[in-house]
Structure 1
Amino acid sequence: METVGAVGNHEKEDHEKNSSHSSPQEHRSFAEFAKDKLDSAGRELRRRLPMAGQIGAHLMHPRRLLLHSTPTLQTDVVLIFPKGLPDSMLLWLLQKLRGSRPRLRVCVRQHASSQCSAFYITADDDVLLQTAEEVHLPKLLKPEFGGGYKEFTVRDMHCFQKGTSASDLLNSQERGALVKHVLESARAEPGDEHALEPALTLRPGQSIVPACVSRGVIASMFPLHDRVALESLRKKWVKTLFSPQPLDEISEYFGVKIAMYFAWLGHYTQSLTVPAVVGFIFWIWLGTANDNWKDIAYVLFSLFNVLWACVYLETWKRYSNVLAYRWGTLDQRDDLLVEPRPLFQGEMGISPVTGRPGPQYAAWRRRVWRHCVSLPVMLLCLSFGAATTFALLRAQDWWESTLVYFSWVPRALLAVIIAVEEEVYARIARWLNDKENYRLETKYENHLIVKIALFQFVNSFMSLFYIAFYLQDMDKLKEQLAVLLITRQIISNLKESALPYLIENLRLAKICVDVFGAMSPSKIPTSTQITEMFEKRTNSSGEPPETLLNGGADDLERRDSEPVVGQKVIHQAELESQLFKYEGTFAEYLEMLTQLGHVVLFSAAFPLAALCALLNNAAEVRADAFKLCHVAQRPFAQRVSSVGSWQHAMEAMVAVAVLVNCALIGLSGPVHRLLPDATPAQTILVIVALEHVVLVIVLALRIAIPEIPGWLATEMAKVEFQRREAIKNAHAPLLSECPSQDDVRPSSRISPRTVTPTTPKQNDKPPKRVFVGKIPEIPPFS
């Protein structure tokens, strides 16, 4: 065989040599001749330097590694540990996760590129289904059972669409979220306090994994990407500029919270077309109109922008309710039934609602901290920020009037100080929020929004208020607003997408060099060697010997099979661990809230503000999508019913806009020119009356536009009627009165003879009806 291969290679080389010495006349064109020469040169280079072509290709296009890496199969969540973490901590965490109830399947690997240890975690189908029932995951019912969303139960699995198996019923983002829930349910027991010292001191009842993530014991935790679904999303979402966003696919892949943000951003961007067109026409018309008409247009445009913002917010409420109904989150469970956030701290006790053990924290302690510590610190920070900005603006005026030269110095200093203040205050706000110790994630985020949004408002708009109401210089206000709006948008896009993308490509290029070039293949340990090492250490610690994978040797060979030592491979999980962590939608919402303030607060001073915002947001949608699909690790999915407190923040911004625009109308001159004989007192009365009229109109619009559209209310009633009819046909009296949040049947409490039917297999016959006394056992609907 070797002789035949050698002869074949010599023939191939002779053929290449002949083709390389062929003349241009033998080719149909000079381009084909040049192409043939380049191809032969490339073959010769690859023959002499086998790795050169591979390394060069990866260095030129390092992101190809994400497509050509070895898929990490049967893994839902990956835990990455920092380099140099003591083996004792890894072994303790491994034993805790392996011994958790319900049991997880954990595989240990060491990444060749970073020399970091990693846990690859998944769970069996029965564990995932039980966890889905525990977290009350809503799933679609079959039409014959009434349709719509219903909280999942294992007993009624056959009633749900695709309810034949866990692989059909649960998608990849739901599997990742369920495994994360199981990880967070592993809590410290008495005697575990010093297991992770000095990095972390645990308290009995504390959730172990979130505490490790917050203190750096775990460097990162993320679910793996589904390559097929991600590539489909890239084609439909990132690579298209003018097609609608595939919101349903975004919700299915990234979760409802991220899909709701992109739906809001798309709706906001579309709504900006109205003030953008009107503002552009107003800007053109100002160049030809006389002063009298300019004053009238100034007043009308200010009022128009405020009313537009109000209508936009109300239409978004309606649209968000439609999306929440489509994605099964419109009717959220009661707050007292929701599991506490993983970092919630408290003494272990019995919940008065569920009767289960859980951390308890007195509400009065939170109120004392909030009023005695958080509020004074917030006021102090706000006062310091406002005073600093005011002092720098005064210094800027003095510099421009006295020194004249280098007028950019105070402006640059102001920009730097504002950026530093924002970063420092964000850390203070998060620390205060952590100390307030909120039980629910929604409460925690809502109070964080209040803290940071207030400071952002003062920091971002202090200079504009100073120019508008202290200097009363409309030309300077126009320039300052234009500079702030445009520069913040450019810097934000570069910072959020372009810079991380560049850094990430450099990381991937370094992996190419390390693994395919500089690093010796014989030095790359395989996961089998790592498993043997951990087994020895586990056995020496007194634990019974068993494989790191909780399924035995067969599963180990199936999930952790690797080529022999010396063959260069990079696993999908290893590459994704090098991506940036997605920090959530908080920063994006905050950026858009500031932009909305620039559009509606001082809109008449710069009529093109809405047009600039529209152009920016058209690129922002794709930039944020690009960041999610190309730059960041896959985030864990979260279920929300709306944008939360950001809706209240935008409504507050519109209320402030009414006051600011009416005050600008009175101070900037239109009222004085339109009513020259009015006294100052009469002018104030006119402005106050105008303000009250606008507020009444805004209130009337909120009342006139219902939050739930009529057709949606009809559809919800139709589904409810179909469910009641399904129950009536099954002869189950009064079950329609059971609340959807509870999966408790009165019959199961009365009779101890309740029989739970097993979930039928795909080819089995439909399940038979099981009777408890005289009441048939059927799924509860409401």
Structure 2
Amino acid sequence: MADKQENNDQVEITISEEKKPKDEHTHKIFNFLGHSNRSSTSLEGDDDDELVKLEIIPEIVEDHRTLLLINKEDQNLYHEIKEWHEEDRNRSLEDTILKFDPDKYRNSDALAKVVYNYPLPDFIIRYKDDKKDEHRNEKQITRDNFEILLLQAGLILEREVDPDGIYTYVKIIAPFNTLCEMAQRIRLKVRLNKESLPSDLSILDEYVRSSDTILTKIIEHFVYDIELKKDSSIFKREHLRSYEGAESKKSKADIALNFFNTSRRNLMVHRVIITANLINKKETSPDGKTVYVNRKIESLEIKKLIKKGIYDELYPIHDGPSKYKDDSKENNNPRATLEEKWVKRGFKRQPIDKIRAYFGEKLALYFAWLGFYTSWLSIASIAGVIVVIHGLIYMSRSNFENNNDKIAAIWDNALTAPYALFMAIWATLFLETWKRVNASIQYDWDVIDYEKDELPRPEFYGTTLRVSLITLKKEIVFPFREKLVKIFISVAIVLVSIGIVLVTVGALLLFPENLQVVKNVKYVGPVITAIINLATIIILNLIYKNVARFLTDFENHKTETQFEDSLILKAYLFDFINFYSALIYLMFSGGRSCENNCNDDACRERCIQQGRGLTLLTIQLAIIFIGKQLIGQIQEILIPWLMSKWNKAKSALDRESLEKKYADSGRKNKEIPQWIEDDHLAGSSDSIRTEYEEMVIQFGFLALFGVAFPLSPLFAWINNATEIRSDGLKYIKTLQRPVGYQAQDLGMWEKIMNIVSFIAVLTNAVIIAFHSRWMENQFKKYTGDDENRLLVARLVFVLAFEHLVFIIKLMFAYMIPDVPNKVRIAIERERYLSRLVLEGESPVLDEYWSDKKDDSSLFSEKGSLLLPHRFTKKFKSQ
């Protein structure tokens, strides 16, 4: 046994057909794996270095349903609940949970859900039982082993086979106690209820009513209403009745079923699933001490099991259908409520709080930012329209040498330079005010310290041990030197990949004539080059995304936020070259490349005319910008709508067949379960990153080149107003429900937009100085036709414009605080109330300022100090 333990750190787990486990083994395996009731640092049990088998107890619920348990106590409890229910079928689920109190009977609420065939389990794992697969038995053993890990982690599992007997759905139900333990582990914040707030709030109420000072009005308007309702603290099970949703008037059944909404539940259950292969193992340290350490069973990591085909899918389920049944407005279907109050309401305000409650903070933050960004686009759209209107008037009243200059005057006129300055300030104000809005969201959603409290990724590994300066315990770390080497390798590969893309794009822009296969035929070279370039970009894009994910995994980031930020940065660098390189080249070259490839004067003159002014850059930007948005809308709206119409008849037949199968299957529940409905939906794992990517690329077009096409903000506003609803419809109807991840801010996306806004100052200055014919005419009033003096004037303008805008941007960044004063006050107030409620701190006393400087009343005639009775009575009582 000792040799086996040294060579193989995996616990031996098997499944038995027997319904009764060996009870003496149960305690041993719990000690070894780390039962959910135990601390991961517990040192109980001297014999848990022994490797033992843990047996599953299968309970047949129906012919197609099997409950999986791992201890006798849960088996007996399940039978008791089942008998209680069968005695009186009118007893509700809430009645049963009240009878079997979760505080007294662990897992009783989850087992009651099995008895009542609860339609909304927390998570689903699906696999296909292919009887022709030669590795079928090996796969089933692996599945059994992983499911034992889920059971020992505190979850309840039930296997249900579909009517065709092809797919098995493992329904995962989390008991309330397991959720509370995970909430405390991830340091979840939950708001305190009014009952738990200290009595000194009445003093604040009297103060607000009796004073008319400006400060008091600020407190009344911004703080008082917020603090009484939205105080929060890190979740602690022992303070359960102090939180919103667990008030004294609420029963334990109501709390067990509804305290955590489904978004919170799937977040915590997902964490249990992805960390189920982490076990507590007894080891002997180099100094001879016995310690418990966290070990990872690599072969039983859920992502690897899906990749190997052991399981097919892992997903949470929606809370019912996307539409109300029979036009009834039931309150227990937040999914249908979102469709009614969000997607169908057109351009009305988004119900962000409902989106957050259903999808979690990460997705809700995206929609909050998208709505904010779209509202700011309306301001930029008005400015752009004013420039175009002025250009039309200017074009109609002026004489031009050629038609190119006449058309260019629409966006190249006296307002072009002020518009560029406006857009630079607009980008700064947009980003700075978003920081303030984001600070309010962080406070309101209780995610201010999310990244500080974020737990490590299950994939993260360390290579050395050190003593933590915080806990003074040994912790696994990944040394900075090793990480630096990985980052260096990753950066080198990314640069090579981007270089390949840059060379491919350059082939289209610089060498079109080299690809002409048919002489004296116009446009053959450019067309062939464009086709080759497009195909290459598509292929490289697919390859690069996989390479980027591989490299990000290779870098071994500790938290999911760090992982996401690194992956986002790699993806955006590729997108930057892919989408902006052609426009950047045109910005710096104009028509010179075309001119150099001409063999006669007429061709050169034509190229010069095409390259002068903003015409060429405007055409390219308009085609790329509008075309990209049209393609995106076609992909997200038109194609799915056409496909739904095309497949409507087939889908109706398939659904009718599926409904008949369930009706004829002899099951108690004859309706199609929600997890079957969701199984037909597309996955949503990377969708949120794609949405951000699309919008940040759009922001880049506006900030970097928007001066060349002033109508671009208007088209962006129209696109985004539609995008909000189309994205909402997509997440509600066509995608599986995403895990309710938390998020503190936009992360790397916000950093990228800040960097782009600074680069945009230079690009806009260059566009105006070197491409604006109106600005060139102004320069020539002072320089004449001298090209050298004209170049100097242009460079001086670039420097002056760039310095002016940078100064203005820095001034606004400094003058606009990132955190609003009302939020800062509210945060400090919240911390104070949390200390009063959870730590028993004494309330702060009123402070008064007095003109009296005479302290003689506090001393006796003999000079002894006299103190108020309140300070002395506790000593007298002793």
TM-score under structure 2 length normalisation? 0.65
What is the correspondence of 1:9-408 to structure 2 with a 5 Å cutoff?
73-82=119-128, 84=130, 86-99=136-149, 100-112=151-163, 115-146=166-197, 148-163=231-246, 165-187=255-277, 204=297, 208-227=301-320, 228-289=333-394, 290=398, 294-332=412-450, 334=452, 337-346=453-462, 352=468, 360-371=477-488, 373-396=489-512, 403-404=521-522, 408=527
Query: 1:348: how far off?
Result: 9.4
Q: Secondary structure at the match of 1:106?
A: strand
C-alpha distance 248-637 of structure 1, shift in aligned 2 (>3 A): same
Q: Which amino acid aligns with 2:314?
A: M
Query: 1:354: how far off?
Result: 5.8
1:299–1:665: 8 Å Cα contact kept in structure 2?
A: yes
Q: Which amino acid aligns with 1:325?
A: Y
What is the correspondence of 1:588-603 to structure 2 with a 5 Å cutoff?
588-603=691-706
2:463–2:477: 8 Å Cα contact kept in structure 1?
A: yes
C-alpha distance 413-616 of structure 1, shift in aligned 2 (>3 A): farther
Q: Secondary structure at the match of 1:342?
A: coil
1:50-109 CA-partner distances (Å, limit 9, x unpaired): xxxxxxxxxxxxxxxxxxxx9962511001225637244234333433354332111112
Q: Distance in 1 between matches of 2:473 and 2:260?
A: 27
Instruction: Say which structure, 1 or 2, has more relative contact order (CA 8 Å, 6+ apart).
Output: 1
Query: 1:489: how far off?
Result: 1.0
Q: Does 2:816 correspond to 1:705? A: yes
Q: Distance in 1 between matches of 2:566 and 2:472?
A: 28
Q: Does 2:780 correspond to 1:672? A: no
Query: 1:145: how far off?
Result: 3.7
Q: Secondary structure at the match of 1:624?
A: helix
1:13-67 CA-partner distances (Å, limit 9, x unpaired): xxxxxxxxxxxxxxxxxxxxxxxxxxxxxxxxxxxxxxxxxxxxxxxxxxxxxxx
Q: Distance in 1 between matches of 2:802 and 2:298?
A: 54
The alignment covers a number of residue pairs equal to 614
Q: Distance in 1 between matches of 2:473 and 2:172?
A: 27
1:737-772 CA-partner distances (Å, limit 9, x unpaired): xxxxxxxxxxxxxxxxxxxxxxxxxxxxxxxxxxxx
RMSD between aligned residues: 3.3
Q: Distance in 2 between matches of 1:575 and 1:114?
A: 17
Q: Distance in 2 between matches of 1:391 and 1:203?
A: 49
Which one of 530, 537, 542 corresponds to residue 418 of structure 1? Answer: 537
2:163–2:662: 8 Å Cα contact kept in structure 1?
A: no
Which residue is 2:752 aligned to?
649
2:232–2:830: 8 Å Cα contact kept in structure 1?
A: no
1:71–1:572: 8 Å Cα contact kept in structure 2?
A: no
Q: Does 2:525 correspond to 1:475? A: no
Q: Secondary structure at the match of 1:659?
A: helix
Deviates more, 1:246-255 or 1:235-244: 235-244
Query: 1:682: how far off?
Result: 4.2
Q: Distance in 2 between matches of 1:357 and 1:643?
A: 33
1:347–1:360: 8 Å Cα contact kept in structure 2?
A: yes
2:120–2:319: 8 Å Cα contact kept in structure 1?
A: no
Deviates more, 1:138-147 or 1:167-176: 138-147
Q: Distance in 1 between matches of 2:308 and 2:556?
A: 17
Q: Secondary structure at the match of 1:155?
A: helix
Structure 1 gaps of 5+ residues are 1-69, 192-201, 527-560, 735-773, 775-782
Query: 1:596: how far off?
Result: 0.9
1:242-263 CA-partner distances (Å, limit 9, x unpaired): 2100000000110000000000
Identity of aligned residues (%): 26
Q: Distance in 1 between matches of 2:473 and 2:299?
A: 15
Q: Distance in 1 between matches of 2:441 and 2:841?
A: 34
Which one of 612, 621, 634 corresponds to residue 494 of structure 1? Answer: 634
Q: Distance in 1 between matches of 2:473 and 2:512?
A: 61
Q: Which amino acid aligns with 1:136?
A: R
1:188–1:203: 8 Å Cα contact kept in structure 2?
A: yes
Which residue is 2:853 aligned to?
none
Q: Secondary structure at the match of 1:315?
A: helix
C-alpha distance 190-511 of structure 1, shift in aligned 2 (>3 A): farther
2:502–2:581: 8 Å Cα contact kept in structure 1?
A: yes
1:694-715 CA-partner distances (Å, limit 9, x unpaired): 1111111111111111222222
Q: Secondary structure at the match of 1:585?
A: helix
C-alpha distance 274-405 of structure 1, shift in aligned 2 (>3 A): same
Query: 1:210: how far off?
Result: 3.0
1:77–1:221: 8 Å Cα contact kept in structure 2?
A: yes
Query: 1:623: how far off?
Result: 0.7
What is the correspondence of 1:499-510 to structure 2 with a 5 Å cutoff?
499-500=639-640
Query: 1:722: how far off?
Result: 3.9
Q: Distance in 2 between matches of 1:686 and 1:437?
A: 47
Structure 2 gaps of 5+ residues are 1-115, 198-227, 282-294, 321-332, 401-408, 592-610, 784-788, 845-873
1:500–1:580: 8 Å Cα contact kept in structure 2?
A: no
Which residue is 2:577 aligned to?
458
2:125–2:315: 8 Å Cα contact kept in structure 1?
A: yes
Q: Distance in 2 between matches of 1:394 and 1:513?
A: 55
1:580–1:633: 8 Å Cα contact kept in structure 2?
A: yes
Q: Secondary structure at the match of 2:682?
A: coil
Which one of 739, 750, 753 corresponds to residue 636 of structure 1? Answer: 739
Q: Which amino acid aligns with 1:441?
A: E
Q: Which amino acid aligns with 1:322?
A: S
What is the correspondence of 1:525-536 to structure 2 with a 5 Å cutoff?
none
Q: Distance in 1 between matches of 2:537 and 2:162?
A: 40
Q: Distance in 1 between matches of 2:388 and 2:300?
A: 58
Q: Secondary structure at the match of 2:825?
A: helix
Q: Distance in 2 between matches of 1:690 and 1:266?
A: 31
Q: Which amino acid aligns with 2:707?
A: A
Which residue is 2:681 aligned to?
579
2:156–2:173: 8 Å Cα contact kept in structure 1?
A: yes
Which residue is 1:777 aligned to?
none
Q: Secondary structure at the match of 1:706?
A: coil
C-alpha distance 666-438 of structure 1, shift in aligned 2 (>3 A): same
1:211-259 CA-partner distances (Å, limit 9, x unpaired): 3235443322111111211000110111111210000000011000000
Query: 1:368: how far off?
Result: 0.3
1:257-310 CA-partner distances (Å, limit 9, x unpaired): 000000000000010001111111211211221589954311111111111111
Query: 1:504: how far off?
Result: 7.1
Q: Distance in 1 between matches of 2:511 and 2:165?
A: 49
